Amino acid sequence: MSKQVLQNVVVSALFGIFIMIAGLTGCNISSGHEDPVASYTKSTDKAASTDNILIPNPTRSLDYFPCNDCHSELEVNTQRRELVDMHDDIIFEHDSEHRWCLACHDAENRDSLRLANGRLLSFEKSYELCGQCHGPKYRDWKLGIHGKRTGEWNGQKNYFLCVHCHNPHSPKFPLLQPMPPPLRPDEIGLDSIKLYGDGK
């Protein structure tokens, strides 16, 4: 077999494999790549829905929501201070030297988050807010490397937001106490095993 014929066979085989993979994964070659969470459409009590991604609603786990139920009757105070009347149970350890509540929450509409450029976000899109400072983690979250994602490998996926695992006010996980390893089979004595039917 000549070198040219062999090259043609290899190229044809690779192209066939590409077409087969594209067909199996539901790839639409003509549409190009698209941010899977950029097509946010609506929010419900149970989840925020996108075209093919379901995001469980984080606001159902918040103690104070909707925020405007209280804040609409209060005068806006943008002065950085220690909260003593309400929210005094919040421990703020998220770059607290440089940040405060209104770095993320909007002063006028407390039911919205606020990006650095002033654009308002719903709580269901909080991943964009986190992504402003945590770019590599945001990239990994979108790819399914960081965080939790369930669903179909080639269909609808369920994305869990940063706040489903991390407390937004104190996101670092506490240190875990290491536990001893399990015993190996050769370390388990027969006298420690209760045999079935021996009546002991």
| Partner residues linked to 43 by β-bridges | 48
In a domain, 98, yes or no: yes
Helix (H, G, I), strand (E, B) or coil at 110: coil
pLDDT at 42 over 60: no
Whole-number pLDDT of residue 29: 41
In a domain, 183, yes or no: no
114 neighbors 121 (Cβ within 8 angstroms): yes
- Show the domain range for 58: 38-172
Whole-number pLDDT of residue 158: 84
Tell me phi and psi for residue 171, to 5 degrees.
-75, -20
Statement: the pTM of the whole predicted model exceeds 0.75: no
Q: What is the mean pLDDT of the chain?
A: 77
Whole-number pLDDT of residue 139: 93
Whole-number pLDDT of residue 40: 34
Three-point CA angle 138, 142, 145, nearest 5°: 90
In a domain, 138, yes or no: yes
177 neighbors 169 (Cβ within 8 angstroms): no
Find the mean pLDDT for residues 130-141: 94
The pLDDT-based confidence of 134 (bands split at 50, 70, 90) is very high
The CB density around residue 68, as the number of other CB atoms within 10 Å, is 14
Find the mean pLDDT for residues 82-89: 84
User: CA 189 to CA 111: how far, in whole Å?
Assistant: 61
Number of independent structural domains in the chain:
1
Is it true that the peptide bond before 56 is cis, omega within 30 degrees of 0?
Answer: no
In a domain, 193, yes or no: no
In a domain, 188, yes or no: no
